Structure 1
Amino acid sequence: MWQNAIEDAVAKTRNNIKRFGDLFPHVSQQGIYELNPNTDWTNGFWSGLLWLCYEYTGEPQFKEAADRTVAGMRRRMDVKEVLAHHDIGFLYSLSAKAAWILTGDEGTRELTIQAADKLMERWREQGQYLQAWGPVGDEQEGGRIIIDCLMNLPLLYWAAELTGDERYRHAAIQQADKSRRYLVRGDDSSYHTFFFNQETGEPIGGATHQGFTNGSTWTRGQAWGIYGFALSYRYTRDPLYLDTSKRLARFFIDHLPEDLVAYWDFNAPQQPGTPRDSSASAIAAAGLLELLLHLPADDSDRHELEQAVIRSLASLVERYSTMDDPDAEGLLNHGSYHVRGNLSLDDYMIWGDYFYLEALLRLERGIPGYWYERAAGDHE
């Protein structure tokens, strides 16, 4: 099943190279991907898909297309208004850093370090956090951190390792610690966002931007937490991060519906007509596979987590994938972008496609994506 799903994903990505040209897919409307000229936070996922396909097949057309996306990311570095957010790790880890990991091209290494510097511009010294959105002092967005940012921290950890500059690592650890303390609740659920006083750094309170309510658990956010804390553990070996990842994973699994693919929010009514978010389950699957790499063989939760990720991924393949539609642009049906904003419900999400293929390749081939360096000598 995994092999067939991978081959289907590769074939669709191959077809999409011609369809998309030099544009980037974002989310779809009625099965057709919206395309943009590298202006959204999601564009790195298309680049990452291309690099995954190249790593799996070795076909030059995937590398050529991926190289063009990296060239686009190089041009984007000089356009301030499309980098005014914290998702620089999503953009450059899966494009420039992926190119560095797979090819060893020095230019992509330098571009990735530039991206880490750009992310550091969002560091707020007074509060010791990375501000998610908006400029310094912004009345609405100032002081906000969000759980998604955990997936941008590998860019900073990596930059610290490559350059020896501990500023990057300090910022990443402080952000992970604040996320653990303020975004993760006592019952192992999570807030989407949390606010701090911009002048004093004092905590104000948790909220949501895309979840059901301020006190609910947005499933994609919970999935970002599973994966993000596991990656912070990989880079730091702090056992608190590993424990937090596992706790979030247990909550995620324990609150899934019968078919093991998440609704958009764990507190939303689980009933016919309530939107699912297949992308949340794809992220969680990839994150669980990272988490399992670090759990000892005798861990009491290991078997349950292993079985959960296999069953959930199988459900994505069998019930949510587009394997029965060779002309489909996306890989996963029934994703949701911003339910409360009524944006792209029950459609393709490019990040859902990326994490779906990453999870499949992790399970079948041990290809882990581009969040960290591989063993020495892995460059071509």
Structure 2
Amino acid sequence: MWQQAIEDAVRKTRQNIEQFGLRFPHITTENRYDWGENNDWIEGFYTGMIWLCYEYTGDAFFKETGLKHLDSYRERLSAKRELDHHDIGFLYLPSALAAWIVSGSDKGRQLALDAADHLMMRWRPDGGFLQAWGPAGHPENGGRIIIDCMMNIPLLYWAYEQSGNEAYREAAICHADKSRRYLMRGDDSTYHTFYFDPESGKPIRGGTHQGFHDGSTWTRGQAWAIYGFALSYRYTGNKPYLETAKRAARFFIAHLPEDEVAYWDFDVPAQPGTPRDSSASAIATCGLLEIISHLREGDDEKQTFKNAVEGTMSSLVKHYATIGKPDEEGLLQHGSYYVRGGLGPDDYMIWGDYYYLEALLRMTSNIPGYWYERVREQAR
């Protein structure tokens, strides 16, 4: 079953490249992607899928395409086009760093380092956090952090390992600590966002942007917490990060519906027509696999997490994947983007497709994605 799913993903990725060239997918409400320019926060996931396909197949077609994409990311960073946000890791880890990890591209390595410098422009030393959106001092967003950023700070950890510049690591750890304290709640759920006073750094309140309400648990945010804190543990060895990832994972698993694929928010009434978020479950699965990699054999919780991975991935492959639909552009149906805002409430999500394929390759081929560097000898 896993092999069939991987082969289907590789075919569709190749088909998309052949049909749309070097354009990038954007979210619609029409069960297809809108293919256009590199100007959103999501393009890195598509390039990451191309690198995953290359690692799996060894087909130079994918490698050449992934390397060609670097020009677009370099031009965008140089122009600072639509980059006034924290999602720099999502853009440059699965594209630039992936090129370095997989092919040894010096161009990719330097681009990833330059992207880390750009992410550091979000650092607010008075508050001790990376500002999510907008310019410094913005009246609404000047003091806002969001849980998603836990998946962007691996770019800073990596930049520290490459350069020895402590500023990268200190910012990443400080932001992770602040996220752990204020975005994680006592019942192991998460706030999507938290607000601080931009000048003093004083905590004000938790809230949401894309969730059901301020006190609810947006499922994709919970998934970011699972994977993000597990990655912070990988980079730092700080055990509280691993425990936090496990806490978030327990909550996620305990609140899943019968088919083990999440609705878009854990607090939304589950009724006919309530949108799912298959992308949240794909992200959470990758996070669980990362946690599992750090647990000893014989640990009861390791088996619990393995069972959760098996259940969710079986459900995604059997009931949400587009296997058997060769003309579809996406891999996973029933993802959601911003339900309350009416943007992609039930459609393909390119990040869902990426994490779905990453999970499949983690499970079968020891290909773990592009959130940390592997042994250099593995580069082709």
Give me the TM-score of the superposition, normalised by structure 2: 0.99
- Alignment RMSD, CA only? 0.8
Equivalent residues, number: 380
The Cα of 1:324 is off from its aligned counterpart by 1.9
User: What is the aligned partner in structure 2 of residue 262 from structure 1?
Assistant: 262
Contact 1:147 1:221 in 2 (8 A): yes
Q: How does 1:247-258 map to 2 (within 5 A)?
A: 247-258=247-258
The secondary structure found in structure 2 opposite 1:206 is: strand
Aligned to 2:226: 226
| Residue number in structure 1 paired with 2:55 | 55
How far does the alpha carbon of each residue in 1:206-230 deviate from its partner, in whole angstroms, 9 at most, with x for none?
0000000000000000000000000
Partner of 1:352: 352
Q: What pairs with 1:99-110 in structure 2 (closer than 5 Å)?
A: 99-110=99-110
Distance in 2 between residues matched to 1:130 and 1:25, nearest whole Å: 27
Which residue identity is paired with 1:299?
A: D
Contact 1:335-1:345 at 8 Å conserved across structures: yes
Q: What letter is aligned with 2:10? A: V
User: Which residue is equivalent to 2:130?
Assistant: 130
Deviation at 1:330, TM superposition (A): 0.1
Deviates more, 1:75-84 or 1:212-221: 75-84
2:183 alignment counterpart: 183
> What CA distance in whole angstroms lies between the structure 2 residues aligned with 1:116 and 1:174?
16
Shift of 1:142: 0.7
**1:165-209 residue CA offsets vs partner (Å, 9 max, x unmatched):** 010000000111011000000000000000110110010110000
Are positions 1:305 and 2:280 aligned together? no
- Asked whether the 8 Å contact 1:210–1:218 carries over to 2, the reply is yes
Aligned partner of 2:209 in structure 1 is 209
CA deviations 1:265-294 (Å, max 9, x no partner) are 000011111000000000001111011000
Contact persistence 2:190–2:217 (CA under 8 A): yes
Matches within 5 A, 1:270-285: 270-285=270-285
Q: Deviations over 1:259-318 (max 9, x none)?
A: 000000000011111000000000001111011000122333111111011110110000
Give the corresponding residue for 2:87. Answer: 87
Contact 1:157 1:172 in 2 (8 A): yes
Contact 1:47 1:70 (8 Å CA) reproduced = no
Cα distance in 1 for partners of 2:345, 2:220 equals: 14
Counterpart for residue 5 of structure 2: 5
The answer to whether the Cα contact below 8 Å between 1:320 and 1:333 also exists between their aligned partners in 2 is: yes
Secondary structure in 1 matching 2:229: helix
| Partner Cα distance (1:290, 1:113) in 2 | 24
Seq. identity, %: 62
Aligned equivalents of 2:41, 2:376: Cα separation in 1: 31
Measure the CA separation in 2 of the matches of 1:135 and 1:214.
23
What is the deviation of 1:80? 2.1
User: 4+ residue runs of structure 1 moved beyond 6 angstroms?
Assistant: none
CA distance in structure 2 between the aligned counterparts of 1:154 and 1:332, rounded to whole angstroms? 26
Q: Supply the AA of the counterpart residue of 2:374.
A: R
Q: How does 1:187-198 map to 2 (within 5 A)?
A: 187-198=187-198
Q: Distance in 1 between matches of 2:273 and 2:323?
A: 23
The answer to whether the 8 A contact 2:84-2:133 is kept is: yes
Give 1:104 deviation, angstroms: 1.1
CA–CA separation in structure 2 for the residues paired with 1:302 and 1:104:
34
SS of equivalent to 1:35: strand
Distance 2:17 2:279 in 1: 21
CA distance in 2, matches of 1:376, 1:324: 37
Q: Deviations over 1:5-56 (max 9, x none)?
A: 0000000001000222221102233222022310000010010000000110
Q: Which amino acid in the other structure matches residue 302 of structure 1?
A: K
8 A contact 2:29–2:343 mirrored in 1: no
Aligned to 2:360, the other structure's residue is in SS state helix
Which residue of the partner structure matches residue 318 of structure 2? 318
AA at the equivalent of 1:224: W
- Residue 347 of structure 1: SS of its match in structure 2? coil
Give the equivalent residue in structure 1 for 2:330. Answer: 330
**Alignment partner, residue 361 of structure 1:** 361
Q: Which residue of 2 aligns with 1:117?
A: 117
SS class of match (2:78): coil
In 2, the alpha carbon distance for the partners of 1:356 and 1:289 equals 12
1:66-93 CA distances to partner (integer Å, 9 max, x unpaired)? Answer: 1121111011112224111000000000
Residue identity matched to 2:89:
G
| Structure 1 position 26 matched with structure 2 position 32 | no
Query: Residue 187 of structure 1: SS of its match in structure 2?
Result: coil
5+ residue gaps, structure 2: none
Tell me if the contact between 1:48 and 1:98 (Cα under 8 Å) persists in the aligned partners.
Answer: yes
- Equivalent residue for 2:70? 70
Q: What is the rounded CA distance, in whole Å, between the counterparts of 2:53 and 2:29 in structure 1?
A: 25
Correspondence for 1:242: 242
Q: Take 1:319 and 1:37, find their aligned partners in 2: how far apart are those partners?
A: 31
Unaligned runs of 5+ in 1: none
Give the Cα separation in 2 of the matches to 1:183 and 1:26: 29
Q: Secondary structure at the match of 1:185?
A: coil
